[in-house]
Amino acid sequence: MELQWNWNYLTEVMKELIETPSPVSYYEEINPVMERLAGELGYEVSYDRKHTVYIKVPGKDRSKTVCVGAHLDTLGLMVKRIDADGMIRVRNLGGINFNSIEGETATIHTRSGRTYTGLVACQSHSVHVFDDARSLTRDENTMMIILDENVHSKEEVKALGIENGDIISLEPHFTITENGFIKSRFIDDKACATCSLAVLKLLKDQKLTPACDTWFVFPHYEEIGHGGSYVPAEVSEYVALDIGVIGPDHNGKEDRVSICVKDNFSPYDRELTDRLVKKAEAWGLNYAADVFYRYGTDGSAAVRAGNNLVAGAFGMGTFCSHGVERTHMDGVKNTAILLAAYVLEG
């Protein structure tokens, strides 16, 4: 069967998802975008109580339900405290590398719905002033946000409506080069969420039916480890779509789909992983099977939480994970095609 992909749709959707802020727990902007994108393809969205987005597609075999998860949450920050001089101190949401966010534009989302931008800076922010401007360790105790507002005291910042616990998102800088490199924050995991939408579009455009009932799910708490922890009882397989990482121990590359055999927590199910590897082989995909170290997915979160299911995981090789990341359209395409193969063939 010839699959007719619309790769322009994929890149447009990826840009929109990446540019919609969704740090861990901040679902209220991205969920309406998902509802609109699903609606445009002719699908309805439902939710669980954790605001996980579900798009449920009936399959040929109605007796089996599988789940394909791609998390919508990204790394971000939270207002920890406001200093007397009006500087904002932060706590991380997920595994932020503070070195990678110095100089970044941050947006603070207040509870009243107002937004303010600021600059992420180190407290020793200038080589002209501080002996340790280059050497001071960048972490949550040394980094701060200076607001792009004329404020100089805690009281003035609070008067803007900014409070401890406000969500802070970071500029993603989404870029695609002419030769297909994608550079952006939050390729993890919005490139994978985009692959799910591209497969959903393919099913509609070509009137294809999944092998079994297939739920495309989009959780909001993967980056802190519990995105996939709740899974409805009818789901027997959880395939987590998440980035593959690149390093000296790995065969993954930006133009490949990485199949994760084992992560930090556990090996993935042998039968399901075998099926994914054989499918990648049979479909002629550029893939790598790899063992990841400081890494987990919603698939392992689902297993760890005690759900009665088996898990697998795959995704495009991604350089500089949790920083300004880079992958390649070929890796995204290999991931989307492996997903389509899994959905259509089981």
Q: Residues in the site for Zn ion, rule: CB under 5 A?
A: 188-189, 242
List 28, 29, 178, 222, catalytic entry: 222
The residue among 242 and 255 lying less far from Zn ion, judged by its C-beta, is 242
**What amino acid is encoded at 45 in this protein?**
V
Which of 314, 232, 227, 199 lies closest to 52, judged by CA?
227
The least CB distance from residue 276 to Zn ion, in Å, is 18
The residue among 88 and 313 lying less far from Zn ion, judged by its C-beta, is 313
Q: Report the distance separating Cα 48 and Cα 234, nearest Å.
A: 14
The least CB distance from residue 115 to Zn ion, in Å, is 25
The residue among 166 and 188 lying less far from Zn ion, judged by its C-beta, is 188
The least CB distance from residue 16 to Zn ion, in Å, is 18
Q: Catalytic residue at 222?
A: yes
Q: Are 183 and 329 in contact (CB under 8 A)?
A: no
The residue among 166 and 242 lying less far from Zn ion, judged by its C-beta, is 242
Closest residue to Zn ion, based on beta-carbon distance: 189
The residue among 65 and 321 lying less far from Zn ion, judged by its C-beta, is 321
The least CB distance from residue 297 to Zn ion, in Å, is 7
Q: Are 278 and 330 in contact (CB under 8 A)?
A: no
The least CB distance from residue 70 to Zn ion, in Å, is 8
Catalytic amino acids?
222
